[in-house]
Amino acid sequence: MKGFRQMKVVWVITMVAALAFFASISTVVAAGKTATDLVNEAKEKVCEVSAADAKGKIDSDTSLIILDVREPDEFGKGHIPKAINIPRGLLEFKVTNEIPNKDANILVYCKTGGRSCLACSTLVTMGYKNAKSIAGGWTDWLKAGYPVE
């Protein structure tokens, strides 16, 4: 009888521990990061410049690379003059062929600045030293009345 009670206690403790373990896993999964969380983390790692500062850099630095990370259909509807298009989802696979110089000065933009911050964070991780995101992206560029193609 005493052995049966000990086995029952061990079984109860095991079940409580298993339930606690699975509850903690579901809490971690449920508490995953949102897109906004990821963008905010990226903004802590990268430098953002205003549309006005971007325009100044474009006008003064002929070697500057302008990288549009929007989708091709967005790019086709209009973009900053001389921009190259590498969609955010393909960046890691295409950027080293398109921009082999990791010391290049790169201005990155998207529609509003979220994807470009994520892209800049990726570029930094890949070893690019001078990538900056245009805060407000294409939206702020248009509001300022700057040239488009």
Q: What is the pLDDT of residues 74-127, one digit of tens each?
A: 999 999 999 999 999 999 999 999 999 999 999 999 999 999 999 999 999 999
Q: What is the pLDDT of residues 53-78, one digit of tens each?
A: 999 999 999 999 999 999 999 999 99
pTM score = 0.75
Tokens of 56: 């100044």
- 131: helix, coil or strand? strand
3-state secondary structure of 130: strand
Strand order in the sheet with 47-49: 47-49, 130-134, 105-109, 65-68, 84-85
- Quick one: pLDDT band at residue 9, thresholds 50, 70, 90? low
Confidence (pLDDT) at 26? 43
* 110 is known as an active-site residue: yes
Structurally, at CATH architecture level, domain 35-143 sits in 3-Layer(aba) Sandwich (3.40)
Domain positions in the chain are: 1-32, 35-143
Q: Which of 47, 110, 117, 120 is catalytic?
A: 110
**Residue 35 to residue 12: CA distance in whole angstroms:** 41
